[in-house]
């Protein structure tokens, strides 16, 4: 009984001290993407657009939460960056004009490339990408290729919606977590001993 209670308490300590605060970035209800939006300091070449009213395109087909998405201006490279580490967990990505569009997403820790994946996107609807880019300070987006879907526009544009991001600045390091866990276990053992004597 005692060991079971101690183990449950230890697990609760680890979970409560090790979780980052998750944010779903929808791009809705704001007048443009500015510095600090969604807890991300820098948004480079990512522009908000009302997909619901854009007309027949991957912009409209890519809306997950209505009405807005973000897209890469001019079909050019874009990135997000933060001075402190964050996790880019997932998001929904859609090609605007080209089916078979390639989207290369790279994640950096400082100047070191730690993640590098390429995904195929289409204009017909969003692809959910479970990225799990953990403890990064910069994520770059490079779109290229594909074949025109004949939707009336052109270019290597992509759009994204409902990014899930964790801000890791408030998460204690492993040393702090172990210190808190040790203090909690010591208190629990002392309480159990006192209870056994009475």
Number of domains in the chain: 1
What pLDDT score was predicted for residue 141?
Answer: 99
How many CB atoms sit inside 10 A of residue 109's CB?
15
189, 3 Cβ separation under 8 angstroms = no
CATH of the domain at 63: 2.60.120.1350
Sequence-ordered alpha helix ranges (H) in 141-173: none
Instruction: With respect to residue 37, please indicate whether it lies within any of the assigned structural domains.
Output: yes
pLDDT band at 115 (very low <50, low <70, confident <90, very high): very high
**pLDDT at position 194:** 57
Quick check: pTM over 0.85?
A: no
pLDDT of residue 113: 98
In this model, does residue 75 exceed pLDDT 70?
yes
**Is residue 14 included in any domain, yes or no?**
no
């Amino acid at each position: 009984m005692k060991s079971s209670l101690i183990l449950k308490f230890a697990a609760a300590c680890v979970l409560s001290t090790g979780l980052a605060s998750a944010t779903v970035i929808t791009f809705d209800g704001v007048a443009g993407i500015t510095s600090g939006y969604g807890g991300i300091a820098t948004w480079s070449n990512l522009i908000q657009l009302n997909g619901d009213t854009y007309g027949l395109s991957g912009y409209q087909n890519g809306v997950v939460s209505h009405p807005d998405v973000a897209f890469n201006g001019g079909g050019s490279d874009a990135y997000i960056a933060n001075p402190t580490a964050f996790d880019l967990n997932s998001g929904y990505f859609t090609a605007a004009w080209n089916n078979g569009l390639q989207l290369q997403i790279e994640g950096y820790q400082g100047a070191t490339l730690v993640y590098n994946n390429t995904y195929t996107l289409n204009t017909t609807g969003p692809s959910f990408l479970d990225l799990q880019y953990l403890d990064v300070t910069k994520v770059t987006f490079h779109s290229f290729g594909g074949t025109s879907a004949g939707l009336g526009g052109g270019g290597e544009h992509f759009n994204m919606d409902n990014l899930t991001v964790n801000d890791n600045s408030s998460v204690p390091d492993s040393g702090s977590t172990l210190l808190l866990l040790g203090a909690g276990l010591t208190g629990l053992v002392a309480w159990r001993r006192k209870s056994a004597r009475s």
